[in-house]
Amino acid sequence: MKVMYPGTFDPITVGHLDVITRAAGCFDEVIVAIMKNPKKNCTFTESERKEMIEKCIRNYPNVKVVVGEGLTVNYTKKLGCKGLLRGIRAVADYEYELAQATGNMQLDSEIETFFLVAKPEYSFLSSSIAKEVASFNGDISKFIPEEIAKSVIERLTRK
């Protein structure tokens, strides 16, 4: 099965990458989709986020990254994916993800949502936390993949 992993990835964290790695071992193909959302005030542009993810998935032959737009279920179908993949960290994610998955089920009953539970060491990790630490020039090696850590620090400490 081919699944789509939608999100903001502003920027990709080691938590996202862990979900991608584990999913790549379970599904035939994983397409990471950076979904355009004009309401979100992102730090990195879509093409910067895409480039950063590409650097992290070089050794994953069955993972691809795209920039998507519109309704998630519509874009999932457009890519020919039967499943949607999301990660769940804590109870707060569960409530939000349950509402999204139920809504998507009503919009398109042919698309199934799959959840991977975050590893305990990543369960409190978000792009926002990583950016906050980076903005103070802190050590982000446990949060951000090493392939992109330098550029994330550079961007966030820029005056």
The residues assigned a catalytic role are: 16, 40, 89, 127
State the number of binding residues for ligand ADP (CB under 6 A).
17
Q: Is 143 in the site for ligand ADP (CB under 6 A)?
A: no
Stretch that binds ligand ADP, among 22-30, 44-52, 86-94, 102-110 (CB under 6 A): 86-94
64 forms beta bridges with 31
Mask 45-64, x = binds ligand ADP (CB under 6 A)? --------------------
Q: Is 75 in the site for ligand ADP (CB under 6 A)?
A: no
Place of tokens 């279920």: 73
Out of 49, 50, 86, 131, the residue judged to bind ligand ADP by CB under 6 A: 86
Q: Is 126 in the site for ligand ADP (CB under 6 A)?
A: yes
